[in-house]
Structure formats: C-alpha cells, structure tokens
C-alpha cells in the first residue's frame, strides 16, 4: 500500500498521499486538501513547500550536495565545459561529441543580434545598471522573434529559441558593459568558443590586440558551471511561475533576471565586493563589521554569508574558494580584498552567532574576487551570474512546459478589513 499521512481535523481523518523522490525526499501531497477540508497551507517564503517535481538538480543543504542530472558539481566543475553542462541541464544527458559540436556550433552561429537591438542601447541612460539593460533586452527578443510567444511551439522551434537565447545573451551582456563604458561594441567571433568569445567581446578594442588567456577562459567556465542551476530558488521559481502562464521563454527569463538582481539573491556578489571595499576603506577592521552584522539594531548583514538551503556548507563556495586562490596565483595578483575576505570568513566561522545560525560563506562570497581578478567590473557581477544561470532557467522552463504544469497560483490568508460600506469623501474624517 502506498505510504500516506493522516491529518485529524475536527475529529475527521484526512489521508494525505506521501510522494517520494529518487533521493528519498518525502512530501505530503496537499493538492486536494482545500477541496476536502476548506483549509489551505501557509508557508511564507515557501520555506517548506515543494512547488514542483523536477528531474534537473538535486541539492541536499544539510550534506552540502549539489548534482546536475545526477552528476556531482565537483566533477562537472573540474572536467566539463559550460556549454556541455548547459546541454546536460537542458536535454537531460551528457552529449556525444557530435551532439556537443552541433549544440556549440548552433550557439556560435546565433550570437549576432539584430542591428535594431543596438539602437535600443541608445535609449538607456549611460549610467544604467547592466542588469536593467540585460533584462530589458532579453525581453525585447520577444519583439524580434514574435513567433516565440506562441504557447504551441514545436520541439524544433523551442530548440531554436533555446539556441538563440544561449547565444545572444553573451553578446547582449558584453555590449551592456561596452555601452556603459562608452567603448565601441565588438561583434562576436565565430572562431572562438563560448567563453573566449565573451571575453573577446568584453575586453577587445579595435585599436589593440586582445590575447585570450586560457587560464581566464578556464576560470570563467568553472564559474559559469557552478552557477548553472540551483533548483527552485527565487529567480528559477520566477521563471517557472511566469512561464506557467504560457509566457514566452524570453519573457520568462527576463523576469528571472530581475529576480536575480535582488541583493538577497544574485545581487549579493556585487554587494560582497562593495562590502569588502568598504571594510578596506574603513581601515580593514573585520571585527567591527562582524559586530555590526550581529547587532539586531543594525540592518547590516554580512553579504555572501548564509543560505536558505545550505545549512552546513555551500559546495560551490568550496570550489570557488580554491579557484580564487588558483586564479590569483596564476595571474600573479595579490588582492588585499582576498585577505579581508579570508579574515572575515575565519572570524565568522568561529563566532557563536554564525555557528548557531549555520551561516557559512555562500557561492557569492568568493566569486567576486575571481571576477575582479579577471577584469570584470563590479556592476557586471550579477550579469555574470545571469549568464551562468541561463541554462538552468531554460531547463526548468522547458521541463515545466513539457510536464504541462498548471498555471502557478498560490493562495493566501486574508488579514485585511472585513466588509464595510463606502463612505463619501466629505463624510470622511
């Protein structure tokens, strides 16, 4: 007999089916609870609510495990490439060489963006945050490819949108930076792999040759892989929720980009670096900032610390910390911010406040150090996160569509006024 749980309500027994995942995570299926009892469940921030069944990413926050399609993040970060991981996430299996070549070539062929997209850049203020431009221009792709909004796309058309999005985001991302700097925009080069092409578009000038450093290409691949998916986090849930209304892939991902920009989510990587710079400017006394983070009357939080699901360690942070050491050593960079970061980490890891609350460095704590070392400006950090997270968003959007999930529509517990009569304006006090 299938396992079920019994809920006793007003002396009446209600049976709730138990759902078990392949990693033995268990859930009560409350889908029929309201019909059976009139009750809904309340879980602010969805801290304990499974919104979907998904076969893409497995995460165990207590054990510090992260796997894409079953493959450990440590192995993928060490042995794979970002494009191969993107294929894995989106299509569910590691590609053969022919499949990988085809996927990679297709992406390369679609990196050019419509010339009219260039003109949109002129409409933004020169100091616009790159994330504002990125989300707007990704959404604008629905205007350039109007057929993408159809809810009944064939598999071929969906694949074409996937390829277009994977390809064009790197050009748009690099152009947001170039545009902000007032530099000429670089067109993509088809002779380069994904990460090399992105670096070329970011850092090359018509006036001088830009040498693509394979160590930087390798570090970038690693960073993008580590960010590629993270199951039902805020931006991914946003992508799925928007997509559940049959909104287009471009529109749904644009919404996800906005969610990611929030400082409690992907925007934290920019905040971490700004925090480290502020500590440095203040004289470098990390204990002062640890004290501020613990002070309940101070809104300051240690950015890059804590995570909604990792309550032991963030496996991505472990890999990134080592990558940061390697990149800095390879490039011969002695970054004083890294020392502040290390001091902060050491102090926090031995402090009762952080231990009690299980607050450990997360993925964003060290990623900024690497981005800085490879020349990415601080304002672009969250754009880099978006670039990395894109295959995850695509995979989750596609899975949601293929599983024909219903439109997302949470319930609420209303706490406002009960019914009252309208009062004309001259009778109001």
Q: Which residues bind ligand CMC (CB under 6 A)?
A: 230, 233, 264-266, 268, 293, 301-308, 357, 359, 362-364
Residue (of 108, 134, 162) closest to 385 by Cα position: 134
Query: CA end-to-end span of the chain, whole Å?
Result: 64
List b or e across 219-257, with b for residues whose CB sees 16 or more CB atoms inside 10 angstroms: bbbbbbbbbbbbbbbbbbbbbbbbbbeebbbbbbbbbbb
- What whole-number distance in Å separates Cα of residue 301 and Cα of residue 193? 39
For ligand CMC, which is the closer residue by CB, 103 or 310? 310
Does 307 participate in catalysis according to the annotation?
yes
Q: Is 390 helix (H, G, I), strand (E, B) or coil?
A: helix
The per-residue DSSP string of 284-319 comes to S-HHHHHHHHH-TT-----TTB--SS-SS--HHHHH
Least gap, CB of 275 to ligand CMC (angstroms): 10
Least gap, CB of 232 to ligand CMC (angstroms): 11
For ligand CMC, which is the closer residue by CB, 117 or 363? 363
Q: Which residues contact 337 (CB under 8 A, 6 or more apart)?
A: 273, 276, 277, 280, 369, 372
**Token code pair at residue 265:** 């989510």
- What whole-number distance in Å separates Cα of residue 361 and Cα of residue 10? 46
Least gap, CB of 347 to ligand CMC (angstroms): 12
Least gap, CB of 74 to ligand CMC (angstroms): 18
Longest dimension (CA), the chain: 80
- What whole-number distance in Å separates Cα of residue 94 and Cα of residue 69? 9
Least gap, CB of 47 to ligand CMC (angstroms): 7
Residue nearest ligand CMC, CB atom distance: 306
For ligand CMC, which is the closer residue by CB, 363 or 394? 363
For ligand CMC, which is the closer residue by CB, 58 or 121? 58
Does 230 participate in catalysis according to the annotation?
no
Among 129, 227, 307, 314, the one annotated catalytic: 307
Instruction: State the DSSP code for 205.
Output: B
Residue (of 208, 167, 207) closest to 188 by Cα position: 167
For ligand CMC, which is the closer residue by CB, 107 or 272? 272
User: CA dist 3 to 17, 19, 63, 301, Å?
Assistant: 7, 8, 26, 43
Least gap, CB of 307 to ligand CMC (angstroms): 5
The answer to whether 201 touches 176, Cβ cutoff 8 Å, is no
Least gap, CB of 424 to ligand CMC (angstroms): 45
Among 213, 364, 421, 426, the one annotated catalytic: 364
For ligand CMC, which is the closer residue by CB, 196 or 362? 362
For ligand CMC, which is the closer residue by CB, 200 or 360? 360
- What whole-number distance in Å separates Cα of residue 379 and Cα of residue 128? 10
- What whole-number distance in Å separates Cα of residue 200 and Cα of residue 188? 8
The answer to whether 333 touches 236, Cβ cutoff 8 Å, is no
Instruction: Give the active site residues.
Output: 307, 364
């Amino acid at each position: 007999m299938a396992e079920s749980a019994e809920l006793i309500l007003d002396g009446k027994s209600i049976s709730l089916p138990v759902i078990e995942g392949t990693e033995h995570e268990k859930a009560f299926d409350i889908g029929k609870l309201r019909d059976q009892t009139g009750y809904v469940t309340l879980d602010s921030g969805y801290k304990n609510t499974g919104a979907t069944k998904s076969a893409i990413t497995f995460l165990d926050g207590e054990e510090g495990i992260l796997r894409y399609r079953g493959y450990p993040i440590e192995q993928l970060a060490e042995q794979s490439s970002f494009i191969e991981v993107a294929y894995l996430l989106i299509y569910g299996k590691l590609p053969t060489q022919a499949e990988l070549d085809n996927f990679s070539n297709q992406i390369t062929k679609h990196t050019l963006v419509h010339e009219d997209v260039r003109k949109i850049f002129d409409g933004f203020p020169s100091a616009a945050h790159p994330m504002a431009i990125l989300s707007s221009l990704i959404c604008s792709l629905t205007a350039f490819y109007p057929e993408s909004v159809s809810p009944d796309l064939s598999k071929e058309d969906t694949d074409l949108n996937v390829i277009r999005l994977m390809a064009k985001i790197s050009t748009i991302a690099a152009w947001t930076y170039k545009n902000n700097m007032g530099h000429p925009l670089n067109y993509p080069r088809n002779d380069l792999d994904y990460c090399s092409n992105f670096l070329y578009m970011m850092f090359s000038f018509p006036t001088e040759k830009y040498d693509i450093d394979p160590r930087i290409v390798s570090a970038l691949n690693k960073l993008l892989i580590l960010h590629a998916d993270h199951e039902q986090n805020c931006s991914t849930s946003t992508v799925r929720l928007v997509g559940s209304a049959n909104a287009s892939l471009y529109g749904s991902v644009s919404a996800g980009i906005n969610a990611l920009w929030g400082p409690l989510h992907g925007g934290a990587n920019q905040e971490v670096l700004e925090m480290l710079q502020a500590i440095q400017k203040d004289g470098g006394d990390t204990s002062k900032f640890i004290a501020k983070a613990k002070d309940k009357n101070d809104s300051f939080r240690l950015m890059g610390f804590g995570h909604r699901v990792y309550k032991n360690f963030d496996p991505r942070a472990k890999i990134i910390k080592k990558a940061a050491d390697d990149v800095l050593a390879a490039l011969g960079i002695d970054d004083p911010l890294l020392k502040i970061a290390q001091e902060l980490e050491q102090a926090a890891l031995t402090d009762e406040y952080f231990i009690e609350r299980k607050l450990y460095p997360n993925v964003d704590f060290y990623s900024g150090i690497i981005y800085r070392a490879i020349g990415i400006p601080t304002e672009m950090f969250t754009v880099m996160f978006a670039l990395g997270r894109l295959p995850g968003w695509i995979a989750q959007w596609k899975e949601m569509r293929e599983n024909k999930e219903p439109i997302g529509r949470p319930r609420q517990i209303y706490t406002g006024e009960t019914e009252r009569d309208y009062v004309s304006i001259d009778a109001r006090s």
